[in-house]
Amino acid sequence: MPHHTLPIETFLKAGTRAHLAGIGGVSMCALAEVLQGRGLTVHGSDMSDSDTVRHLRSVGIDVAIGHNADNLQDCDLVIRSAAIRDNNPEIAGAIARGIPVYERAEAWGALMREYRHSLCIAGTHGKTTTTSMATYALMDAQRDPTVMIGGTLDLLGKGYRVGQGDVIVAESCEYRNSFLSFFPTVAVVLNVAADHLDFFKDLDDIKHSFRQFAERTPDDGYVVYNLDDEGAVDALAGCQKNLFGFSVKQGRGDCWAENVAFHDGCGEFDAVIRGKVYAHIALHVPGKHNVSNALAVAAAMYLLGVDGGAVGRGLAAFHGAGRRFEYKGEYHGAAVYDDYAHHPDELSALLQAAASVPHRRIICAFQPHTYTRTAALFDRFVEVLKTVEVAIVAEIYAARETNELGISSKDLCAEIPGSVYCSTLDQVTDTLARLAQPGDLILTVGAGDIFRSGEKLLERE
């Protein structure tokens, strides 16, 4: 609920003192540097020390470890991450003192309005990869973008960038309707599926939010959307904004793929816009879904006036974002990869991409993320995990939830023949070590801390 009466723009000026609660988050740390660059005095807090916190301190931003009302000091406003609720001592302290409290998305939305072009990339899945691809294209085109991504990108050395150009590109999350605080001039809708059902009522509720997101574009803006995704098409049916559709099917929509070929699972094709070849794209990330993601980028770049050559060069240089089919190393001749997939559609796309890479067996160590998602999408998770040669299922990662549903990963394993249930990450590591054979492809998958099992496995090599 809002705890302010004035628009946040009132405070986004030199001399204002801003406290950022949860400043170590990938979006919050970027926000801190942007605000500091505008002349605000910025300080913040986070639950633990980290490389990000140390970086912020190195640029003159004071960060306290732990949340305490005293951390507010004499601030004029508080900006909080999406994970911080009203019972946080800093938020409660601010409310008691009458200090206005704003959401992170509100701050980003206000900042977006000052850029000529605001590219906001949304979708139930694929956001991080597609935002990363767009960043590579914009950097090759020397547009000097400001960037906010929900993952680490080698090109940036982190998940964000503060640029001086006229473009901001932002991964735009639907959870708790965060993206409805944004102001896109080009809105991208990659796909729309059931997820975050601890917040949304159902799929129709989700579609309604994506429709609202698209309708935030101005009359001279555009909505780039995936014609191959039923959810996206349904969400935007009847939308009166300027729609720009893309498809992997030749001749469909405004932007499509022609001459598609795959090399070691990675797509190569021509991105054709309104009948003319705009860019030749040779990807170095596997999977058919990444052809679709790349088409979304091509469409958006075209609308931003980026030369097609920069799109081709930028996407050729992209080798994946952190935790997106990320190669981690080798254990006893088995290749170890890590991925953030936590929705069954993402998991299915990942397994299809992995299958296109030479391998003996795929061993998938999956950690479900949140009890509500596991329960709501239970049958679909079972269906997807049955397709893998060896499924190891770690206990559910609680994240922000408590287990009021009484559900466990044991329930999934009971429906998946030959699967292995592991109650701890150490058990996952031990199981991987026991099963790994030369030529295997090992995947650690999930939005929680399952990646640590792969890292511990590689430490044993």
By annotation, the residues acting in catalysis are: 127-128, 171
Please list, in sequence order, all residues whose beta carbon lies within 8 angstroms of the beta carbon of residue 87, skipping any fewer than 6 positions away. none
Q: Which helix (H) or strand (E) element contains residue 366?
A: strand 362-366
DSSP 3-state assignment of 161?
Answer: strand
Tell me, letter by letter, the H, E, C secondary structure of 390-459.
EEEEECCECCCCCCCCCCCHHHHHCCCCCCEEECCHHHHHHHHHHHCCCCCEEEEECCCCCHHHHHHHHH
Conformational region of residue 73, where left means phi above 0, alpha means psi within -120 to 50, and beta covers everything else: left
Long-range contact list for 141-150, CB < 8 A, 24+ apart?
Answer: 141/301, 141/306, 141/307, 141/310, 141/311, 141/314, 143/167, 143/304, 143/306, 145/169, 146/34, 146/115, 147/30, 148/26, 148/27, 148/30, 148/31, 148/108, 149/26, 149/321, 150/26, 150/27
Please list, in sequence order, all residues whose beta carbon lies within 8 angstroms of the beta carbon of residue 59, skipping any fewer than 6 positions away. 33, 36
Which amino acid belongs to residue 220? D
Gap between the Cα atoms of 186 and 217, Å rounded? 7
- What interhelical angle do 308-317 and 127-140 show, nearest 10? 120
Integer angstrom CA distances of residue 238 from 40, 121, 211: 42, 21, 10
Gap between the Cα atoms of 401 and 369, Å rounded? 10
